[in-house]
Amino acid sequence: MSERIGFVSTRFAGTDGVSLESAKWAEVLWGYEHTSFWYAGLLDRDTAVSHCIPEAHFEHPENVWINQRIWGQYKRDPLVSRRIRDMASYLKSTLYDFTKRFDISVLVAQNALTIPMNLPLGVALTEFLAETRMPCIAHHHDFYWERIRFSVNAVNDYLDFAFPPRSSNIQHVVINEAAQEELAWRKGVASLLVPNVFDFEVPAPQPDEYTKDIRTELGFEPDDVIILQPTRIVPRKGIEHSIKLLEALKNPKYKLVISHDAGDEGYEYLNMLSELAAESNVDLRVIADRIGDIRKTNSIGQKIYTLWDLYPHVDFVTYPSLYEGFGNAFLEAVYFRLPILINRYSIFARDIEPKGFRVPLMEGYLTKQVIDEVRRLLEDADYRKQAVEHNYAIARRFFSYPLLRRRLRTLITNITGLD
């Protein structure tokens, strides 16, 4: 029996992990003839199946006002409580409108009951589910207790109530084993582990007419070696290790390229990286102004490329993150058959490494052995091919769509009681 599934989050737009994974879920569910609909504060989905409520976005002014008064302190003003309740009440009414408009039979909460980027939305969704008893799958990407900025707060009552709630009509899903254990310990609820995936059954896209000039458009020489850090410029991404790697490799043709900007976390880290690169004689290039979610041209007529347009022209990927909830950039590199350097962050060590991938691994710092392994992957074509093909085969077995199909079928059966 097909279901009409409503995806709910603060945002379904761009290339963040929640937006990307929810699109994969919808694609797989469509294969079972389940229809997907979308509720969020910012949407790039088809408007015919979307319900956009600006107040649901975490950057809405009312939500920003609330956040400024509940994080980093223990005391909450009565006015703040009232405005949280008022916003939650309004958002709950829009959830009723959404489910009625599209005749929704199952909700999928994508991180909306996990991390309190929009606290009133989580409260609204929890109350809506309590009132309607609608079946819900709560897909948890990163919990509030995993983020230091939420550790001091004035809303522990709401966090206990809604992030996530305990209810028999909610099926919980996590993306790594550590989250599964923490959720059981903190909330006393069981969950199903569904890792992030890629469609490894379909080969990665190849360069086309639009991207044939991408190297010259981005300012690279034909013989430049592009070493890509496909992340935002935030401290937990460990980009300083990538700079030190290129310094150790001592090849002026190696260019370190960062695909994303610093975003809303300030530019102090970027300034430090720029100074470090200059001191290390490393050619560091940030190309965030030329990489977008879709192909288009900017205000002066330059082409904007997607990250996937760039990958076929990359020679090596660096991913020295200090922490990741899973690591989509790792799977992307494997999908495009690229060698990748990993800083052995905890989730990788526990959930990914045991599968048998062959990648240079650093333990918080670069060693001569790691540098030599990177150099060999860059210079020995046969060795490189063996490594990337091995990794592709491993990922196809453990992190591809067949696994997602099986897990989603189980989830839908569990939550609805129907095959």
135, containing H or E segment: none
Residue 14: predicted pLDDT? 81
Do 129 and 169 meet the contact criterion of CB atoms below 8 Å apart? yes
User: What's the rounded mean pLDDT across residues 23-38?
Assistant: 90
What string of DSSP letters covers 339-407? -EEEE--HHIIIIIGGG-----EESSS--HHHHHHHHHHHH-HHHHHHHHHHHHHHHHHHSSHHHHHHH
CA distance 52 to 170: 24
Mean pLDDT along residues 285-314: 93
Radius of gyration of the chain (CA): 22
Chain mean pLDDT for the chain: 94
Q: Report the distance separating Cα 338 and Cα 358, nearest Å.
A: 11
Exposure string (b/e) for 39-55, b if CB count within 10 Å is 16 or more? Answer: bbbbbbbeeeebbbbeb
Mean pLDDT over 158-180 rounds to 96
Which of 36-40, 278-282, 297-301 shows the lowest mean pLDDT across its residues?
Answer: 297-301
* pLDDT mean over 1-15: 91
**So what's the pLDDT on residue 263?**
63
**Per-residue confidence (pLDDT) for residue 15, from 0 to 100:** 77
DSSP 205: P
Mean predicted confidence (pLDDT) in 340-366: 95
- Whether 417 shows a pLDDT value over 80: the answer reads no
CA 226 vs. chain centroid, Å, equals: 23
Report how far residue 395's alpha carbon sits from residue 352's, in angstroms, rounded to the nearest whole number: 9
Which of 118, 140, 40 is CA-nearest to residue 411?
140
**Residue burial 347-362, b: 16+ Cβ < 10 Å; e: rest:** bbeebbeeeebbbbbb
Rounded percentage of the chain residues whose pLDDT exceeds 90: 89
CA 113 to mean position of chain CA atoms: 16
The pairing of strands 50-52 and 35-40 is parallel
- Domains, the chain, in order of start with CATH, read 4-197+401-416 (3.40.50.2000), 214-398 (3.40.50.2000)
Q: Read off the pLDDT band of 265 (50, 70, 90).
A: low
User: CA-CA distance, 275 to 320, in Å (whole number)?
Assistant: 19
